[in-house]
Amino acid sequence: MTDRPTVAFVGTGVMGAAMAGHLLDADYPLVVFNRSREKAEPLLVRGADWADSAGEAASRADVTITMVGYPHDVDEVYLAPGGIVERAPGGALLVDMTTSTPTLAVRIAEAAAARGLTTLDAPVSGGDVGARNATLTIMAGGEGSAFERALPLFEVMGKTYTHVGPAGAGQHTKMANQIGIAGTMLGLVEALQYAKAAGLDLERTHAALSGGGANSWSWGAYGPRILAGDFAPGFFVKHFVKDLRIALDESRALGLALPGLELAERLYARLLDADGADLGTQGLWLLYERGEQV
């Protein structure tokens, strides 16, 4: 038996399954829902309970965590009839860890508050590696008391967790993160393209630059995958394009011109249209290899 709160986890894909698994390891009673049940089977085998919908999962839990794909998915699981906000018990905490829009985060917070629920928009950074290793960076928007309540869960799933402001602030912070990653991914791919054109040994070049100013999280995580020809998703291109488009919309609403972000969105959109939707973000390398970046 455990005195830990019951957690509903909605969305057991590439990252969500690992995150939910850490909660099981920490002895949290877990109820899971995913549109494709087979993706949740490993968690069910380990002791998680199945729910037939996101709303049902929330109805059986003290805390509901969501990690789904797109803002329209977030809207559906939270705000549709029979969804999480409608069915969660009074006093429940709702934590959306999907990268979504600040505006939607505020709408969910307002709808939840009307039912006596509290929310956090708490998107993450760190990709599949961070999810597997429980080293995610978590940026949370919402009330401070809600953050304190969620902190024991964040400590199980991540390494860095910060309360960044009111509802919507977590999503704004994640947009800043994605803008930064967009630039480092372009730098990674173009640096290695230059090294290749100059006839350098790519593995030695990558190793040499790993100790210098060119190093970054993306350089260390995705450089070796590119060199190994591994373009499997740690973070899908289709989801990255979604994020970059949200960032562009938000920056324009703020009156900002961000040409680097615009370039990254244009290149990744080109990769998306060239059957690259289900590649990892390091798949940008293939666009350059085919000469389709210009």
Give the pLDDT of the chain (294 residues) as one tens digit per residue: 468 999 999 999 989 999 999 999 999 999 999 999 999 999 999 999 999 999 999 999 999 999 999 999 999 999 999 999 999 999 999 999 999 999 999 999 999 999 999 999 999 998 888 999 999 999 999 999 999 999 999 999 999 999 999 999 999 999 999 999 999 999 999 999 999 999 999 999 999 999 999 999 999 999 999 999 999 998 899 999 999 999 999 999 999 999 999 999 999 999 999 999 999 999 999 999 999 988
pLDDT in tens, 32-86: 999 999 999 999 999 999 999 999 999 999 999 999 999 999 999 999 999 999 9
CB 179 within 8 Å of CB 169: no
Is residue 186 in some structural domain?
yes
* Domain limits for position 254: 172-289
Token digits of residue 95: 């934590």
Is residue 80 in some structural domain?
yes
238 and 150 in a common domain:
no
In a 3-state reduction of DSSP, which class is residue 92?
coil
161 and 19 in a common domain:
yes
Q: What is the pLDDT of residue 186?
A: 97
Using CA atoms, how far apart are residues 293 and 36, in angstroms rounded to an integer?
35
Is residue 25 in some structural domain?
yes
Domains held by the chain: number: 2
176 and 157 in a common domain:
no
Helix, strand, coil share of the chain (percent; to 5): 55, 15, 30
- Catalytic residue positions? 174
- CATH code at 261? 1.10.1040.10
259 and 159 in a common domain:
no
In a 3-state reduction of DSSP, which class is residue 137?
strand
202 and 144 in a common domain:
no
Is residue 1 in some structural domain?
no
Task: Among 117, 135, 166, give the residue marking a domain's end.
Answer: 166
Q: What is the pLDDT of residue 235?
A: 87
Compute the half-sphere exposure of residue 20: CA atoms within 13 Å on the CB side of its CA: 36
Q: What is the pLDDT of residue 2?
A: 63
Kindly report the pTM of this predicted structure. 0.93
144 and 21 in a common domain:
yes
Task: Among 166, 186, 209, give the residue marking a domain's end.
Answer: 166
Count CB atoms within 10 A of the CB of residue 219.
Answer: 20
134 and 22 in a common domain:
yes
281 and 185 in a common domain:
yes
Task: Among 166, 194, 228, give the residue marking a domain's end.
Answer: 166
Is residue 33 in some structural domain?
yes
Is residue 228 in some structural domain?
yes
148 and 104 in a common domain:
yes
162 and 198 in a common domain:
no
194 and 52 in a common domain:
no
Residues near 167 by Cβ (< 8 Å), separated by ≥ 6? Answer: 105, 106, 108, 109, 110, 119, 121, 141, 142
- CATH code at 51? 3.40.50.720
Is residue 2 in some structural domain?
no
183 and 114 in a common domain:
no
